[in-house]
Chain A
Amino acid sequence: MKRTMKFTDYQTDGFYDELFEKAGVPHEAAKPLIAKIESLPPGDLHRRQQAAEAAFLQMGVTFTVYGSDEGTEKIFPFDIVPRVIEPGDWLQIERGLKQRIEALNLFINDVYHDQNIIKDGIIPGELLNSADSFRPQCVGLTPQRDIWIHVTGTDLVRDQAGKLMVLEDNLRCPSGVSYVLQNREVLKRTFPNVFQSMHVQPVYDYPNRLLAALQYLAPRGVAEPTVVVLTPGMYNSAYFEHAYLAQQMGVELVEGSDLVIQDGFVKMRTTKGFQRVDVIYRRIDDDFIDPKVFREDSCLGVPGLMDVYRRGNVALANAPGTGIADDKAVYAYVPQIIKYYLNQDMILPNVETYLCSEPNQLDFVLKNLDKLVVKAVNLSGGYGMLIGPHSTKKEQTEFAAQIRECPRNFIAQPTLGLSRAPTIVGDDFEGRHVDLRPYILYGEDIFVMPGGLTRVALRKGSLVVNSSQGGGSKDTWVVAPSDGRAEQSQGASSQSQTQSQTQKTNSKSQTQGAKDA
């Protein structure tokens, strides 16, 4: 028989902990959750964890493990103990992200038009010219409503002291929001009471917001725009998410082969002939969306799409070319970018970053490889990284050679003692490092979804949270500020009143029905 799981022996080991101020003392906002978990009967937490995993399997929220036995599917590893974010912290995140997205959007627009930021000497022109993600095909393009980045997933971390920082921006088809929505569905079933008592801010309206943001982009004069989600197909690792978002928005999920260009418009092949498409939420990378403009060998995209886009007859989200703003070297300049376009100081700080393209910084990086995290600017998903303190001398020497060969390709950051959160490990809780990816939508205004994907490095001591590197996830609970509570509970009571009235009406009609029969 399993024992009741308590946090009595839980240690923070000198890291900032997302649920505990120090051993034995939870953060104010997390108290009801901790109390709930500690009050569960023996074995109950494990049962809830298993029920949650079974629910994911049943819902088909899985990815296929290739190679081994055919049809082996796994759920994305998931820990049912949520991470809790206090209202004050969230306010800073929300304001900081809005500021950041607004500035980055102005930056991209400038980059593909006048390049004033270079002319004014704020960033070196060399930075753009040497960036792999700069798309000359987009120069002079003006997307609908001047918005380039409609959907962003920005990765945040906390350092040893608990300070929130931006680790990187993901402006090119960021993934993971479907897991946030599904995690929440499962967690609501797992901890229904405590969830309600803590006033966790809801995430369910993300698909509505996404749809509204996409519809906002429709070419002028289209009253009821047709929005579609463009996927590379069911063998893409994020296919579940593409299908899920399309379903939740009630729009078609299309593949490149479903679309054709006809008379200057994008159309999809339907059972009733060709139907015009106005807005495409594309989940295919720039390189593949139009073989006539980008990679010729792509069979995922639509030949001629960019031409229609250029004429303003279809909107693409995110706009092609946005990758320039999540180049890891450009990242280092974001504080200046915010200052330049908005004349504001950065609300959410960057992680200190060394550019290997700068000779004096390069020197520092090469001398301190054993202490720094070095990243290739064009790779993501935890690839092309050297984590100094966890690396061997041999790996450092190899990396040094790569850096010297092409310094522009690398940046370095100090190794952060990422914050941790209690995670179920066997019969105990152990601290595991986490990050946070909130999702930001830019339509009529900028919206930050309250919460986001908390990724967990499941291996002990590991700092790598990417799912491709064995990471898992947790639900993220953003606690509503206390003034929001009265309003919520009022709403709930008036709803129950309406319901009981309906019940009466129902039973009446039932009786009548019985008499008639």
Chain B
Amino acid sequence: MLSRTADAIYWLARYVERAENVARFVDVNFTLALDLPHESAAQWKPMILTTGDESEFSDRYDEFSEENVVKFLTFDRENPNSILSCLWQARENARTVRDTISSELWEQINHFYLLVQHASKQTKIDSPHKFFAEIKQASHLCTGIADSTMSHGEPWQFARLGRTIERADKTARILDVKYFMLLPKTDHVGSPYDALLWSALLKSASAFEMYRKRFRAIHPDRVVEFLILDQHFSRSIRFCVKGAERSLRLITGSESSSYASPVERKLGQLRSELDFADIGEILEGGLHEYLDTFQENLNLVGGAVFDTFFALKPVSAGNKAAS
């Protein structure tokens, strides 16, 4: 497939996934605010830290109020990572690859964008929970429609590659920031709030019920283990990286024990580290350090994906690539 098309599909999937993640943790925070005592106001700041857009926010907003944070994260067109911006970009990408994706998928993405764009015209979100639930569902529909209306060939694999890389990154961010916001408040440990906050963290990753099934009692280390290393949970970092690697192998066609490009090597390394990781060692070495390194490595993978598949190679270099 065309390099430009692969690029657009990969990013289209990333933007849809990103929009869903933002919706998920904004929604959780709304619900959380209802259960927490008045200090809850402070809970809006970590949301901005999670996205990594703190300076962008501070440039234009004076306080981390609910109103400001929600606006920044959902409808602010100047914030490239707001839900509306992500969907606009997803749709622009989808438009350029309309010939490659199924019309069902295009229509869903179009509908998704129009839904949020329409909401952005309202002065206030009427029913936040309903609205964010619609966004999550619209995103799941995109994935489901792509799965069931598109051949699982190269374009679909690029979409999964994008989605899983984005998802791994977001799970790492949620975990990183929330962990530090939650843990130092030792006076909460063991209190009703402790369980509440850790539950909120799991819900931010849509992981609450699945965690319960796996470990039942809420325990911070277990939560961390579940979100990083669980073999079967679709948002755990390890699961995402495995999915990304699977797509990559299917795109390049190389055997699982070898590699033919830097991107396969990078991703393979990352995957095998996760396969043999131990939660005790991770926590001992420092969770933040671990997640930081992981995100750096994941960014390198993203860069290598670009270099290998999307970069417009000059004609002379192309001879090599083609042979």
Of the candidates B1, B107, B111, the one whose C-beta lies within 8 Å of that of A271 is: B1
A240 to B100 CA separation, bound complex (whole angstroms) = 13
Are A270 and B2 interface neighbours, CB within 8 A?
yes
In the complex the two chains form, is A260's CB within 8 Å of B318's CB? yes
CB contact between A258 and one of B4, B107, B319, B321 (< 8 Å): that residue: B4
Chain A residues lying within 8 Å of B321, measured Cβ to Cβ, are: 273-274
- Tell me the interface secondary structure of chain A in the complex: mixed
Minimum Cβ distance to chain B for residue A230 (Å) = 12
Q: Are B103 and A59 in contact (CB under 8 A)?
A: yes
Flag if A243 contacts B95 (CB, 8 Å): yes
Query: Closest Cβ of chain A: how far from B149's Cβ, in Å?
Result: 13
> Is B99 a contact partner of A57 (Cβ separation < 8 A)?
no
Nearest residue (CB) in A for B77 is: A70
Q: Is residue B216 contacting chain A, with contact meaning CB distance below 8 A?
A: no
The size of the chain A interface, using a CB distance under 8 A, is 32
Q: Which one of B4, B107, B310 lies within 8 Å of A255 (CB-CB)?
A: B4
Residues of A within 8 A of B318 (CB): 260, 262, 267, 269, 273-274
- For residue A244, which residues in chain B have a CB less than 8 angstroms away from its CB? 98-99
Residues in A whose Cβ lies below 8 Å from that of B114: 57
Task: Judge whether B312 is part of the interface by a CB distance below 8 angstroms.
Answer: yes
A389 within 8 A of B: no
Task: Indicate if the CB atoms of A271 and B251 lie closer than 8 Å.
Answer: yes
Stretch at the interface among A137-145, A246-254, A417-425, A487-495: A246-254
Q: Is the CB of B312 within 8 A of A269?
A: yes
Whether A71 is near chain B, meaning CB under 8 Å from some CB there, is yes
Q: How far apart sit A115 and B168, CA to CA, in the bound complex (Å)?
A: 67
B3 at the interface (CB under 8 A from A): yes
A499 within 8 A of B: no
Q: What residues on A are CB-neighbors of B92 within 8 Å?
A: 234
CB <8 Å contact, B3 and A247? no
Residues of B85-101 whose CB lies within 8 A of A: 88, 92, 95-96, 98-100
Q: Which residues of A contact B309 (CB under 8 A)?
A: 271
Shortest CB-to-CB span from A265 to chain B, Å, is 12
Tell me whether A271 and B95 are in contact (CB under 8 A).
no
Closest Cβ–Cβ distance, residue A205 to chain B (whole Å) = 17
The answer to whether B99 and A246 have CB atoms under 8 Å apart is: yes
Nearest Cβ on chain A to B138's Cβ, whole angstroms: 13
Please encode chain A, from 220 to 244, with 1 for each CB lying within 8 Å of some chain B CB and 0 for all others: 0000000001000010000110011
- Given A252-B5, A258-B2: A273 and B312 within 8 A (CB)? no
Given contacts A243-B98, A252-B2, contact A59 B322 (CB under 8 A): no
Using known A-B contacts A59-B103, A260-B315, determine if residue A269 contacts B2 with beta carbons closer than 8 Å. Answer: yes
A24 within 8 A of B: no
B117 touches A71 (CB 8 A): yes
Known: A60-B110, A271-B3. A252 touches B117 (CB 8 A): no
CA distance A255 to B3 in the complex (A): 11
State which size class the interface on B falls in. 20 to 34
Residue of A nearest to B110 (CB): A60
Are A59 and B107 touching (Cβ within 8 A)?
yes
Question: B267-323: which residues lie under 8 A (CB-CB) from chain A?
Answer: 309-310, 312-313, 315, 318-319, 321-323
Which residues of the partner chain B approach A239 to less than 8 Å between Cβ atoms? Answer: 95
Q: Does A506 contact B (CB under 8 A)?
A: no
Docked Cα-Cα span, A296 to B313, in Å, equals 23
Question: How many angstroms from the CA of A36 to the CA of B21 in the assembled complex?
Answer: 50
A501 at the interface (CB under 8 A from B): no
Tell me the A48-63 residues at the B interface (CB within 8 Å). 57-60
User: In the complex, how many angstroms separate the beta carbon of B274 from the nearest chain A beta carbon?
Assistant: 26
Residues of A within 8 A of B99 (CB): 229, 243-244, 246-247, 251-253
Complex alpha-carbon distance, A258 and B106, angstroms: 22
CB-contacts of B51-75 with A (<8 A): none
B2:A254 contact, CB within 8 angstroms:
yes
- The answer to the question of A196 belonging to the interface, with a C-beta cut-off of 8 Å to chain B, is no
Q: B174 on the interface (CB 8 Å rule)?
A: no
Contacts of B107 in A (CB 8 A): 58-60
Give B108's nearest chain A residue, CB to CB.
A58
- Chain B residue numbers with a CB within 8 Å of A271 are 1-3, 6, 154, 158, 251, 309-310
Cβ 8 A contact of A247, one of B98, B111, B312, B322: B98
Contact status B95-A60, CB under 8 Å = yes
Complex Cα distance, B276 from A377, in Å, reads: 74
In the complex, the answer to whether A247 meets B100 with C-beta atoms within 8 Å is yes
Q: Cα distance A88–B310 when bound, in Å?
A: 54
Contacts of B323 in A (CB 8 A): 273
Assess whether B3 is in contact with A258, with CB atoms less than 8 Å apart: yes
Chain B residue at minimum C-beta to C-beta distance from A257: B312
Closest chain-B Cβ to A256's Cβ sits at a distance in Å of: 11
1/0 per position for A60-79, CB-CB distance to B under 8 A? 10000000001100000000
A272 CA / B5 CA spacing, docked (Å): 13
Q: Identify A270's interface contact among B1, B95, B111, B117, CB under 8 A.
A: B1
Contact with A along B1-29 (1 / 0, CB 8 A): 11111100000000000000000000000
CB distance from A133 to the nearest CB of B (A): 30
Residues of B within 8 A of A254 (CB): 2
Contact of A247 with B2 at beta-carbon distance under 8 Å, contacts A60-B95, A71-B88, A273-B318 already known:
no
Q: Residues of B contacting A71 with CB < 8 Å?
A: 88, 117
B-facing residues in A264-316 (Cβ within 8 Å): 267-274
CB distance from B318 to the nearest CB of A (A): 5
Q: Digitize B111-145: 1 where CB-to-A-CB distance is under 8 Å, 0 elsewhere.
A: 10010010000000000000000000000000000
In the assembled complex, the CB of B228 is this many whole angstroms from the nearest CB of chain A, namely 31
> Given the complex, which residues of B lie within 8 Å of A258, measured CB to CB?
2-4
Q: Which chain B residue shows the least CB distance to A252? A: B2
Least CB distance from B114 to A in Å reads 7
**Chain B residues whose C-beta falls within 8 Å of the C-beta of A234 in the assembled complex:** 92, 95-96
Q: List B contacts of A246 (CB < 8 A).
A: 99
Interface pair A60/B313, CB less than 8 Å apart: no
Chain A residues lying within 8 Å of B310, measured Cβ to Cβ, are: 271
Q: Report yes or no: B322 in contact with A274, Cβ–Cβ below 8 A.
A: yes
A254 CA / B319 CA spacing, docked (Å): 20
**How far in angstroms is the closest Cβ of chain A from B280?**
41
In the bound complex, what is the Cα–Cα distance between A244 and B111 (angstroms)?
18
Q: Which residues of B contact A272 (CB under 8 A)?
A: 322
Question: Which residues from chain A contact B4 at a C-beta distance below 8 Å?
Answer: 255, 257-258, 269
Enumerate the 5 nearest inter-chain pairs by beta-carbon distance, A residue then B residue, closest first: A273-B322, A246-B99, A247-B99, A243-B98, A253-B99
- Beyond contacts A59-B103, A274-B322: 15 other A-B pairs, Cβ-Cβ < 8 A, are A59-B107, A229-B99, A234-B95, A251-B99, A252-B1, A252-B99, A258-B3, A258-B4, A262-B318, A268-B2, A269-B2, A269-B4, A271-B158, A271-B309, A273-B318
14 A-B residue pairs with Cβ-Cβ distance under 8 Å, sorted by A, are A59-B103, A59-B107, A229-B99, A234-B95, A239-B95, A243-B96, A251-B99, A252-B5, A260-B318, A262-B319, A269-B3, A271-B2, A271-B154, A274-B318
